[in-house]
Structure 1
């Protein structure tokens, strides 16, 4: 285990630090008292993610909830699964009524084969070394353990990103990064394969969100702890004029509401085990694809 830690630490030094993890923690601490304001969105994402458990016959006894913000763990415990909460924010950990570990989500302080199930709902998009984290998840899962995750993907917040860029370019002649970069759906499937999960699947889903005013969108981002934590963010206070200009540029739908849909990838992957089904190798098929497409031939 110590050797694995040393190897992981050595690898992480080479990973580009896109996100400021200290700021991510501060944002989550600040958001802890206001999480009820965004609970419907968090619950919708968690419920769509945990629906995948209804299609699985395997029984899960122990689970780790990574960054579920007080929503995922109660749902898992309601299913009879002993659940440990892990979160970067001490304040969010303190809100949980069960066992909780205050930890940096980029390093999982658990022994190999500690959990049957690991769930990460809307908590992976601020991680610098996502391939490294997924490899750690696979390590702490028992053989034939399940990893479930959902994370924002493109084009989430595309309208806000474009509005901020246009407003800043018009006012200052340049732009600074203000919205987190998101992966694409294909990237998520590739990440699962790269981490060595068996039977990896990444499905797309959309949670439709609409706001009466632009400030409603900004308030939800703040209440969820999702404001700018990029390392290259501007350190100066954003002027109210720039915010007002950007908000006026947000696209509106036919009812003059502001649509900012949350596009998510729902990811599933299994820790490899000898009992799992294996894909056939080339040449092992009993019927060729050509024969299947042609269908039965007259005798």
Structure 2
């Protein structure tokens, strides 16, 4: 039986990350994560951070986001998967392994880029390459949608799952300036099925024309970055649980102080 082809070329991904010189995207994700953690009434003493992150939590252990995570089961009270799920060949496997590292009632948080990220560049590159070469090659990783990634929390066995997102709009002088920044962010093409030879210059020239025509404001092009944030808890007997259907003792109409009106047949 043939194995499923890998989405990401990890050697290329690590090379891109090693060349990163700008933490702009990571700083946004970090600040948002820390803001969410500040709302949790808990002091975490044994956190781990999985992915290409700095140690932004005191006492945190940094773990590489390899296919198999080098974590000790039930050893941590907080696991943060940071800016790596959008490159994972097996996102649910990454969440499951992170969850296994948690003690009962341990907390899981994740930040990654979502499906609306760079949708402008994706569209223009696809049209330009199709027009110039008559074909398409994978160029931007197919990042997940919030509904899909939120469902992975339940598949991983985490309780009280929550998923939310923020969208950041940025502007650039040209598509070439955007691509230069993506290299500085360490987020350029690391897809396993990517084109392994140089792209024709005419493809990028046509892409730039389409971008200027379609996604520009006040003389600059617009680029979208969507950040997804996931959270959940390792199951514990002490956690609140939903009531059994039909067990309510108070009518909703009474709670809202309104008159209940029956529906017409």
**TM-score normalised according to structure 2 size:** 0.90
Between the aligned partners of 1:17 and 1:161, the Cα distance in structure 2 is: 21
Between the aligned partners of 2:25 and 2:9, the Cα distance in structure 1 is: 25
Deviation at 1:224, TM superposition (A): 1.8
1:214 is matched with 175
Deviation at 1:120, TM superposition (A): 2.2
Deviation at 1:145, TM superposition (A): 1.0
Aligned residues: 257
Between the aligned partners of 1:63 and 1:15, the Cα distance in structure 2 is: 33
Deviation at 1:248, TM superposition (A): 2.2
1:27 matched to 2:16? The reply is yes
Q: Is the 8 A contact 1:68 1:120 kept in 2?
A: no
Residues 213 and 115 of structure 1, relative CA distance in 2, 3 Å threshold: same
Q: Is the 8 A contact 1:209 1:261 kept in 2?
A: yes
Residues 133 and 206 of structure 1, relative CA distance in 2, 3 Å threshold: same
> For 1:123-148, what per-residue CA distance to the aligned partner results, in whole angstroms no more than 9, with x for missing partners?
11110111111111110011111111
Residues 253 and 247 of structure 1, relative CA distance in 2, 3 Å threshold: closer
Task: Indicate the structure whose relative CO is greater, using CA pairs within 8 Å and at least 6 residues apart.
Answer: 2
Q: Which protein has the bigger helix share?
A: 1
1:18 is matched with 7
Structure 2 counterparts to residues 135-284 of structure 1, below 5 A: 135-250=96-211, 251-284=214-247
Between the aligned partners of 2:194 and 2:244, the Cα distance in structure 1 is: 48
1:83 matched to 2:46? The reply is no
Q: Is the 8 A contact 1:66 1:105 kept in 2?
A: no
Between the aligned partners of 1:232 and 1:288, the Cα distance in structure 2 is: 57
Q: Is the 8 A contact 1:49 1:121 kept in 2?
A: no
Q: Which runs of 4+ in 1 moved over 6 A?
A: none
Between the aligned partners of 1:213 and 1:69, the Cα distance in structure 2 is: 29
Alpha-carbon RMSD across the aligned residues, in angstroms, is 2.0
Between the aligned partners of 1:228 and 1:253, the Cα distance in structure 2 is: 23
Between the aligned partners of 1:64 and 1:240, the Cα distance in structure 2 is: 44
Residues 66 and 136 of structure 1, relative CA distance in 2, 3 Å threshold: same
Between the aligned partners of 1:133 and 1:223, the Cα distance in structure 2 is: 26
Between the aligned partners of 1:261 and 1:169, the Cα distance in structure 2 is: 23
Between the aligned partners of 1:46 and 1:228, the Cα distance in structure 2 is: 23
> For 1:165-206, what per-residue CA distance to the aligned partner results, in whole angstroms no more than 9, with x for missing partners?
111111111111111101111011101111111100001211
Residue segments in structure 2 that go unaligned for 5+ positions in a row = 261-265
Between the aligned partners of 1:265 and 1:190, the Cα distance in structure 2 is: 13
**TM-score normalised according to structure 1 size:** 0.80
Q: Is the 8 A contact 2:132 2:202 kept in 1?
A: no
Residue segments in structure 1 that go unaligned for 5+ positions in a row = 1-12, 88-103
Deviation at 1:208, TM superposition (A): 2.5
Deviates more, 1:209-218 or 1:156-165: 209-218
Deviation at 1:260, TM superposition (A): 0.9
Residues 40 and 232 of structure 1, relative CA distance in 2, 3 Å threshold: closer
Residues 286 and 68 of structure 1, relative CA distance in 2, 3 Å threshold: farther
